[in-house]
A and B are shown apart, each in its own frame.
Chain A
Amino acid sequence: MHAVGSLEFWIQQMINALGLGSQYALMAVGLAMVFAVMRLINFAHGTVMMGGAYIGLLLLQRGLPFPLVAAGTILGAAALGVLMERIAYRPIRGAPDVALFLNSFAVAVFLENIAVLLFSPRSRPFPMPALLTQVFHPWGDLFIPSIHLWAFGGALLALGGLAFFVTRTRIGLAMRAAAENPTAAQLMGIEVGKVTLLAFAIGSAMAGLAVLFWVAHIGTVQPGMGFEPVLKAFVACVIGGFGTIPGAVLGGYLLGALEIFLQGLLPSAVVGYRDALVYAVLIFLLLVRPGGVLGHGEAERI
């Protein structure tokens, strides 16, 4: 490893943080969008990623070129999200938030078990093309895994596209309106049901993109793989400001940066406790700023 504090060290950490942060931001955004339109903390968000990953694996095993595998993962995740919304959430739309949340647990457990039945509980390797796994070695001690660059580039495109969509298109604006006040939105002629479905589809597609990078890091897929991503996505949302897209993005990058820098800076004796320290920072942050970094700012007239 490099000497802590050397230029290579900091550049290395920054690149790792951008790569990991991009992944977390993509995962968190999907969770935030669903919460915004439905007041639902979708515990099955990680399951959507797992489903997308398995669809990608099946396509890969059929010998499809990687761009199609990636597209299949993203679209598969989106399709799974849409099915989930129609079957498990829409029918109980007016129910208390807790009921929706419990349903999402049920969906997650149900789908995980289906995956165990279909694919067995053991991990399966998901080989990535060399283009994604190569490591650049520009100079000295600096190693740049290309996956981080892909993740950053992918996130830039996807999140940039999303930002344009929600601020400058009619339907994107309708989504924000429906999230804030579904009744008033309906009175403008906005079909809140369709807009909610679209939010699920887009959010799940983002998660599908994120899982490609997740799988590139761990190299395998297994039915229980969705738990950790949804937890990270949730923490990222809370850090940044829960339920908003900017909050999710900021939280994702902050969480990624926090994990990477703690990993790099902690002495080897305690680096195993990195996650505990991440959560300690989270608790402290929430004590000081319960709304997250971007939490409630301006005053509002009622």
Chain B
Amino acid sequence: MGEPAILELREIDAAYGAIRALHGLSLQVKPGEVVALLGPNGAGKTTTLRVISGLLRPARGQVFYKGSEITGRPPAAIARMGIIQCPEGRQVFKNLTVGENLWLGAYRLRDPGRERRNLEWVLQLFPVLKERLNQRAGLLSGGQQQMLAIARALMAEPEVLLLDEPSLGLAPRVVEEVFEALARLKAQGLTMLIVEQNAEKALGLADRAYVLEAGRLVLADSAARLRENPHLVRIYLGR
């Protein structure tokens, strides 16, 4: 595929103080692709998303978006460019209503027309939110909050959607629902980079995957081939 990447990391080193979290990480996401970022706890997956979103400045290396460098830009600016992150642990605004959370998702658009259209779109994807528009988001169940977090991110019309552990803390049935919604989004052509500990679910959705271990890239391949890879299967799927 000769298409240029919409998102690219080159030789990223990142650290929290003295603790090095990423070593020379390079990865790419092409438009329309779903890419999974896998690995055990502490491998640096969340750190990777924090670097992309501008929450952490890398010590070395560059982040490119649509061919221009965005390394070190402030998080709000990066979000406004269309890179939208659905952070770990949902992080919905608990004291605000579901409707207010969604409205805020569309903040970068500054366009009431698009807000309305996107609201219709996300409520269609997640009907459970429709009846709860005036409820405080803190009262929703974990699964509903995850739907809200994704819906909120979608309100921004992301060009690239970053998802950090969407299955975390959710019951298997709920994880099913969430990934079904993500599959529908993939079919609509949304570009996604998904960080997941649940390798099985992630590989079922993704086109390609990267595997991190202790801050380094150890595997990069198509999702189909990785499902068959003994190294990966042994470590992450527990078989």
Contact = CB atoms under 8 A, between A and B. Distances in A.
Interface stretch (A91-99, A157-165, A177-185, A278-286): A177-185
A299 B75 CA distance: 31
A287 interface: no
B136 A173 contact: no
A174 interface: yes
B87 A187 contact: yes
Interface residues of A, number: 21
B93 A181 contact: yes
A1 B113 CA distance: 62
A273 to B, nearest CB: 39
Contacts of A192: 76
Given A184-B91, A188-B79, A189-B76, A173 B104 contact: yes
B91 A188 contact: no
A190 interface: yes
Nearest to A194: B76
Interface residues of B, number: 32
Given A184-B87, A188-B104, A189-B108, A301 B139 contact: yes
A183, A189, A301: most-surrounded residue (chain B CB, <10 A): A189
A191 B76 contact: yes
Contact of A177 (B104, B110, B139): B104
A231 to B, nearest CB: 28
Contacts of B91: 181, 183-184
Contact of A190 (B76, B92, B141): B76
A176 interface: yes
Interface string B92-110: 1111100010011101101
Given A183-B91, A188-B156, A301-B138, A173 B76 contact: no
Contacts of B40: none
A239 B53 CA distance: 40
B32 interface: no
A181 B76 CA distance: 13
B80 interface: yes
Nearest to A188: B107
Contacts of B108: 188-189
A298 interface: yes
B170 interface: no
Nearest to A186: B75
Contacts of A228: none
Contact of B93 (A177, A189, A301): A177
Contact of B136 (A185, A189, A298): A298
A299 B140 CA distance: 11
For the complex of A and B, the 10 pairs showing the least CB-CB separation, nearest first, are A189-B108, A189-B79, A186-B75, A300-B138, A184-B91, A189-B80, A191-B76, A188-B107, A186-B76, A187-B85
Interface of A: 170, 173-174, 176-177, 180-181, 183-192, 298-301
